[in-house]
Amino acid sequence: MTEVTFTVNGRQQTIDAPPMKRLLDVLREDLHLTGAKEGCGEGECGSCSVLMNGELVNSCLIPILQADGATITTIEGLSPEATAPLHPIQQCFLEHGGAQCGICTPGMILATHHLLQKHPHPTLAQIQEGLAGNLCRCTGYMRIFEAVQRAANAEPFVPAT
Amino acid sequence: MRSNVADYSLVAPPTLPEALRLLASDPGLTPIAGGTELMVALSAGRLPQKNLLSINHLRELRFIDVHPETITIGSGATFTDIRCHEAIAEDLPLLTQAASWTGSIANQNRGTLGGNIVNASPAADTPPALLAYGATLTLMSASGTRTMPYSMFHLGYKKTALAPDELLYSATVPRNWSGYRSYIRKVGTRNAQAISKVAIAALAKIEGGAIADIRIGAASLRETPARCTATEQALIHRPITPSTLPNLILAARKALATEVQPIDDIRSSAKYRAAVAANLVEEFVRSLV
């Protein structure tokens, strides 16, 4: 067991875990943050996406020791709770039918957040590339792309901390 | 069947010298950087190496240095670092392209150049470009540093020249390719996130209407990433005009057939790979006229 300290959604956490335990499992089992989902478990589907130090990552591929000292944002921490229940990206997914069964949705929204940080006004090709690592088996993607386009135009865009 | 993570150890030494010292004292340690390969094996219950050495956080390995003649890329540079680097985009566009179609954005944020090389997959994305550009590797251990042409690094399927106590430190790539034409194409199931069935990265210089230099790197055509030297030999110094083109293409196809040894696997068949590789080489040769 190794002691690991990191910040999740603005709160510092210290846990004891085997160093190769996956960040995804620590989030879900130790911290009870079940927004990140396990889809494929091999970095192909993006359901477990979180932001680590501001970068989009697959939490199923990160040994928890490598998250020591990191700042993590999960879907639970994306919205500034005090001012709004949903982040504007979440609101756009809701309004445009960008979610059906919901398994891919947290990852899609975090990938969208990462995309809009880098490209505030993305082209369709940039949206497609930005979300290419996130698989959806329900919507066929068009509504997701529409939601992202709307989120890109929604003002103001609130970056996660 | 998932692995029991309690069976695995992972240490994260604070500095590169400390990491090398640990490797020297225990050559059974397996380095892990971005985890985009080894963590997949862990999740699937097929990671035989039980003792791992995290090198992901080592700042000494994460750099891109631009020199007058070369660009040196630290083994810890991520695909994102590479694809976003302006000098690489300017001088080594094959590498930028290869990095930008490796996995997804999330994979590019974690996966490293060093991992892509050392993992030694025949299907890896950056090796064809590194081979075409004639990269040199720097390997480091507690007892010293050595360099070798990347073309000599792969010894066989998943076998490399890296000693158990060594880490790949960097890849140094010549950057002056003015006058060269470049070509790169990856054929996979989809554009993003797919492992290649076949990939080619190539450079050629035409002087006085003839092929003065030609360099073709390939993935998934042999048990290691490899230069297509027979094909290069069949083309070099040959005049290239619309009228010589059909014969050049025939010669290239014939030579390529002598040196590819693709396999049947879950991603493709040997027959398909050989046929597509020949088509890619033809497309490259046609682009030179």
B42 to A68: CB separation less than 8 angstroms, yes or no: no
What token pair was written down for B172? 């140094």
Residues B65 and B145 in one domain: yes
Query: What's the average model confidence in pLDDT over B248-252?
Result: 98
Contacts of B46 in chain A (CB under 8 A): none
Residues B106 and B195 in one domain: no
Residue ending a domain, among A76, A106, A139, is A76
Residue ending a domain, among A76, A108, A142, is A76
Distance from CA of B8 to the nearest CA of A (A): 6
Residues B30 and B96 in one domain: no
Position B201 scores a pLDDT of 97
Residues A106, A49: Cα–Cα separation, whole Å: 7
Residues B142 and B165 in one domain: yes
Contacts of B110 in chain A (CB under 8 A): 57-58, 61-62
Residues B50 and B64 in one domain: no
Percentage of residues in chain A having pLDDT higher than 70: 94
For residue A41, give its domain range.
Answer: 2-76
Percentage of residues in chain B having pLDDT higher than 90: 93
Contacts of A61 in chain B (CB under 8 A): 34-36, 39-40, 110
A75 pLDDT band, cuts 50/70/90, is very high
pLDDT tens-digit map of B185-210: 999 887 777 888 999 999 999 999 99
Q: Is position A107 within any domain? A: yes
Residues B41 and B70 in one domain: no
Q: Which CATH number is B68's domain given? A: 3.30.465.10
Q: Is position A82 within any domain? A: no
Residues A71 and A92 in one domain: no
Query: What's the average model confidence in pLDDT over A125-152?
Result: 93
DSSP-based helix, strand, coil % in chain B, nearest 5: 35, 25, 40
Position A157 scores a pLDDT of 47
Residues A60 and A124 in one domain: no
Residue A54 has pLDDT above 90, yes or no: yes
Q: Scanning every residue of chain B, which has its alpha carbon at the shortest distance from the alpha carbon of A61?
A: B39
Residues A10 and A60 in one domain: yes
Residues B145 and B224 in one domain: no
Residues B166 and B190 in one domain: no
Position B90 scores a pLDDT of 98
Residues B230 and B254 in one domain: yes
Count of domains in chain B? Answer: 3
Residues B35 and B73 in one domain: no
A24 pLDDT band, cuts 50/70/90, is very high
- Identify which of B8, B40, B193 has the shortest CB distance to residue A18: B8
Residue ending a domain, among B139, B174, B209, is B174
Q: Which CATH number is A121's domain given? A: 1.10.150.120
B105 to A114: CB separation less than 8 angstroms, yes or no: yes
Q: Does residue B161 or residue B194 have the better pLDDT?
A: B161
pLDDT tens-digit map of B23-51: 999 989 999 999 999 999 999 999 999 99
Position B1 scores a pLDDT of 65
Q: Is position A81 within any domain? A: no
Count of domains in chain A? Answer: 2
pLDDT tens-digit map of A86-137: 999 999 999 999 999 999 999 999 999 999 999 999 999 999 999 999 999 9
Position A161 scores a pLDDT of 52
Residues A11 and A69 in one domain: yes
Residue B276 has pLDDT above 50, yes or no: yes
Query: What's the average model confidence in pLDDT over B74-79?
Result: 98
Contacts of B109 in chain A (CB under 8 A): 55-57
Percentage of residues in chain B having pLDDT higher than 70: 100
Residues B147 and B167 in one domain: yes
Residues A7 and A70 in one domain: yes
Complete DSSP assignment for B217-242: EEESSSSS-EE-HHHHHHHTT-B-ST
Residues with Cβ within 8 Å of A49's Cβ and at least 6 positions away in sequence, in order, are A36, A56, A57, A58, A59, A106, A107, A110, A111, A133, A134, B106
Residue ending a domain, among A43, A76, A109, is A76
For residue B215, give its domain range.
Answer: 180-286
Burial class (CB in 10 A: 0-12, 13-18, 19+), A11: exposed
Position B244 scores a pLDDT of 97
Residues with Cβ within 8 Å of B209's Cβ and at least 6 positions away in sequence, in order, are B239, B240, B241
Is the distance from CB of B164 to CB of B28 less than 8 angstroms?
yes
Residue ending a domain, among B140, B174, B208, is B174
User: Which of B39, B79, B186 has the highest number of chain A CBs within 10 A, making it the mutation to test binding with A?
Assistant: B39
Q: Does residue B193 or residue A78 have the better pLDDT?
A: A78
Query: What's the average model confidence in pLDDT over B145-151?
Result: 98
Residue A21 has pLDDT above 80, yes or no: yes
B287 touches A at CB < 8 Å: no
What token pair was written down for B273? 């790979």
Percentage of residues in chain A having pLDDT higher than 90: 88
Residues B220 and B282 in one domain: yes
Mean pLDDT of chain B: 96
Position B265 scores a pLDDT of 86
Q: Is position A140 within any domain? A: yes
Position B254 scores a pLDDT of 97
What token pair was written down for A131? 């979300």
Q: Which CATH number is A18's domain given? A: 3.10.20.30
Q: Which CATH number is B186's domain given? A: 3.30.390.50
DSSP secondary structure letter of residue A22: B
Residues A69 and A6 in one domain: yes
Q: Is position A123 within any domain? A: yes
